[in-house]
Structure 1
Amino acid sequence: MTTATRPEHDVDISSKAFWDKPFDERERSFARLRAEPGPTWHPPLPADFPYTEAGFWAATTHQDIVHVSKHPELFSSAEGVAVSPMPKEPQIAMSFFLTMDPPEHTIFRKLISAAFTPRQVNRIQHQIERNAKDIVDTLVGAGEVDFVTACSSLLPMYTVSDMIGIAPADREPVRQAAETLFGAGEEAISTDQDTLTVMIAQVELLRNAAIEIAEARRRRPEEDLMTNIVQAEVDGHRLTNDQIGAFMILLSSAGNDTTKQTTSHAMLALDRNRDQRDRLLADWDTRIGPAVDEFVRWSTPVMDFSRTAVTDTEIRGSKIRAGDKVALFYCSGNRDAAVFDRPGTFDITRNPNPHLGFGGGGVHYCLGSHVAKTQLRTLFHELLTRTPNVEIGAPTWLRNTFVHGIKHLPANFPR
């Protein structure tokens, strides 16, 4: 970690007050930073841990985020990927191969990819279709509900549970642990516990659940992804119990909350932009693919990650020193007018749409993007064709510097 000082930019994107503002207000600050000739230096974000850092470079343009993402030889993930100050150890425990660089990262990505055989992908798709139908069955004529609880949060965790082999009776504790892990700061406030204590408890629950299933599949293989994971081998490497536990933490948190948040944001956007909803339904087969990409761009559920410079380098005139943190603000890159026409408009026909919702490309591009898109396509077909008269209320937003989250979303499914 560098301790050198340098001038801090006068646009505040570091304070709690900034991150408590609505998205559109924060976007005005990011727009000012995108107009700068290169990345800008800022003081560290508020810390949930007794840990200090010098600050960070803000990569706010689409161009800069892609550049950093595609050059792991210059910008490492191994020192951690959180923008908020956080010790390296809990980041590694929660992020698995997100906090690895090639060649180590390459090995583990291949191991996980090897488990997604065509047969497993087909099986997962059928499970998603069945679960989406079952969820919407409960919404038809349900009256007043919280859309997040009754819909958004269900399909991704059902999908993760089916993939890994979590029994239906154990799904709810796993879902709660995953959601708490993503919103640990708020959970700590509500329980008077420190954030690290809250996070460790959820990590252990998810880790132990995965290890128990992995050991069971080694003894008695079944037709599920966990069996493929314990049997996968690449270049003589197999995943250990600890590594499978770490993958479970990544899958159940990142794979759950991101799709959940995208679902909530997309439902809200379609309600507020009825012309877009009508346009989608008028030509579903042609428009659902671009629409899903717009759902992801619009929501940008993961707002930021970071990298650490491994050598002195330069980004458009900004001199980055070895050890400097570089924050990748996907929420800003996805509103970059240099790349997106009318970026503040929700447009399900947007094409091209090189959004950063699955990362900026390179070795860390989201491994689960196909599964996420399948869930969104399937669920929204059920929702829009079977509940055409649903009314959406005002959202309650999650206070977070990492997740662009909707905590509650009132919905009325007329009886």
Structure 2
Amino acid sequence: MWDPLGVKLIADLDIAKLDFWERPVSERHEAFAWLREQERPLFFAQPKVPLARAGKGFHALVRHADVTEASRNGAVFANSPAVTNPEPPKWVKYIYGDSLENKDAPEHTRLRRIVSRAFAPRMMARLEEHMRRRAEEAVSALAAAGPGDFVELVTQTYTTHVVCDLLGIPDADRPQVLRWVRDTVEYQAVRSDPKGMLRHAAKNTRATFGLRNLVIRLGRERRKEPGDDVISALAGADVEGERLTGMELGAFFLLLVVAGIDTPGHTMSHALALLSEHPDQRELLLSDYDRYMPGAVDEIVRYASPITQLQRTVTAEYELRGQRLAPGDKVVLFYNSANRDERVFTDPDVFDISRGPNPHVAFGGPGAHYCLGAHLAKRELTVLFQELFTRLPDVRLAAPPEPMVSTFNNAIRRLPVTFS
């Protein structure tokens, strides 16, 4: 706890331990505020976690300047072998495929050049019509059900259909895709519970294999008979003689499950919760939606920081804010802390949709690994809430959100809502 001088006892502050992330949000913010005031990044030993690779620990990068410096300097701060903390076992990538986010140049450059076709302006323009129809369907489902869980009734189905529309997943496969997505989300929800992780590991493995193999199968089909969809574009892509393998295509879809379905869905839940808890900001948004929504999206992702942290591996001798780092050392970029850095954001704990400038790092910070799907995520949220507030203008929380305890993302398991 805090002593009378307001100094946090180190023995009681260990952001590497899973039980830290079960603490109330206010306590976690206080802990990171204290960490930002330290002279240099502190080191935290890595606890043992089931289904993870043992590691000695990491230095916590909690200031905005530290996170942006590491993000820009990919030559020293590498994404390989894995950005998740703790790291999965080495055998995982040989079974599931190695994600784009776990690679560095030149391999990352090659893959990003190919998969960027998924987010080309033509693809995004074609997706806009589908997105609006999916938003109408999701809000209609909520309206028909009456008060209920916003996560189950709206965000999971909406974001899943948007990504399936983008990729060209057949309608017949979508109910199974949604079940698989829910299984992967449920697995993430028990990261702080070792026994729960083991219980859900088998279900998550089946879901991950199912998602990967579905896209590999569709990729083979689209190479023979291409359509106007992303799987066709990626399966048949030939950029300077390069194309995605079946395993790479499957791994890209698994990344989209998190980056295009899971994370945007949680962001939408945070958005509704924040706008319910801050009625003045909701009123301001609805006074001129087109004017304020772009800033509202940036403030929502800054304030909520849906992805809490990602890891980097040091590849060369380096000094960061007085801390000497050696090759092989691990650093963890805490986006939730950088997005509340008092040196960058005035009144960082205040939710203000008119905030400007807003240089948040919620999409991964600057550099080669800035989120490819950032524009898609923003449009998903903008389109859904325009439909939601047009059809159900007084939709609001019916009970406090039920958080999903996780070391990786700031997620909401259930969000009870009501409306007239």
The one-letter code sitting in structure 2 at the alignment partner of 1:26 is: R
| Partner Cα separation in structure 1 for residue 164 and residue 185 of structure 2 | 18
Residue 338 of structure 1 aligns to a residue in which SS?
coil
Matched, 1:171 2:174: yes
Q: Which moved more, 1:207-216 or 1:133-142?
A: 133-142
Cα–Cα, structure 1 residues 182 and 98, in superposed 2: closer, same or farther, change >3 Å?
Answer: farther
The one-letter code sitting in structure 2 at the alignment partner of 1:174 is: V
| Partner Cα separation in structure 2 for residue 260 and residue 95 of structure 1 | 24
The one-letter code sitting in structure 1 at the alignment partner of 2:207 is: Q
2:30 maps to which residue? 28
- 2:55–2:86 contact (8 Å) kept in structure 1: no
1:412 maps to which residue? 418
2:403 maps to which residue? 397
The one-letter code sitting in structure 1 at the alignment partner of 2:38 is: E
The correspondence of residues 279-294 of structure 1 with structure 2, limited to 5 A, is: 279-294=284-299
Residue 117 of structure 2 aligns to a residue in which SS?
helix
- 2:50–2:197 contact (8 Å) kept in structure 1: no
| Partner Cα separation in structure 2 for residue 70 and residue 327 of structure 1 | 14
Deviations 1:343-373 (A, max 9, x none): 1111111111111110011111000011101
The correspondence of residues 9-408 of structure 1 with structure 2, limited to 5 A, is: 10=11, 11-49=13-51, 51-90=53-92, 93=96, 96-140=99-143, 142-184=145-187, 186=189, 193=198, 196-392=201-397, 393-408=399-414
| Partner Cα separation in structure 2 for residue 349 and residue 177 of structure 1 | 38
Deviations 1:220-246 (A, max 9, x none): 111111111112121210111111011
1:46 offset after TM fit, Å?
5.0
1:3 maps to which residue? none
Residue 127 of structure 1 aligns to a residue in which SS?
helix
1:386 offset after TM fit, Å?
1.7
| Partner Cα separation in structure 2 for residue 371 and residue 296 of structure 1 | 14
Cα–Cα, structure 1 residues 136 and 339, in superposed 2: closer, same or farther, change >3 Å?
Answer: same
Cα–Cα, structure 1 residues 183 and 43, in superposed 2: closer, same or farther, change >3 Å?
Answer: farther
- 2:269–2:415 contact (8 Å) kept in structure 1: yes
Residue 363 of structure 1 aligns to a residue in which SS?
coil
1:119 offset after TM fit, Å?
2.5
Residue 147 of structure 2 aligns to a residue in which SS?
strand
- 1:45–1:83 contact (8 Å) kept in structure 2: no
Residue 367 of structure 1 aligns to a residue in which SS?
coil
1:284 offset after TM fit, Å?
1.5
The one-letter code sitting in structure 1 at the alignment partner of 2:229 is: D
1:141 offset after TM fit, Å?
5.8
Residue 56 of structure 1 aligns to a residue in which SS?
strand
TM-score, reference length from structure 1: 0.93
- Name structure 1 gaps, 5 residues minimum: 1-7
1:115 offset after TM fit, Å?
4.1
Residue 169 of structure 2 aligns to a residue in which SS?
coil
| Partner Cα separation in structure 2 for residue 170 and residue 217 of structure 1 | 15
- 1:303–1:330 contact (8 Å) kept in structure 2: yes
The one-letter code sitting in structure 1 at the alignment partner of 2:331 is: V
1:276 offset after TM fit, Å?
0.4
Deviations 1:5-44 (A, max 9, x none): xxx9643212222111122211111111111122110111
What's the % identity of the aligned pairs? Answer: 36
TM-score, reference length from structure 2: 0.92
1:268 offset after TM fit, Å?
0.3
Residue 364 of structure 1 aligns to a residue in which SS?
coil
Cα–Cα, structure 1 residues 83 and 330, in superposed 2: closer, same or farther, change >3 Å?
Answer: same
1:389 offset after TM fit, Å?
1.9
- 2:83–2:102 contact (8 Å) kept in structure 1: yes
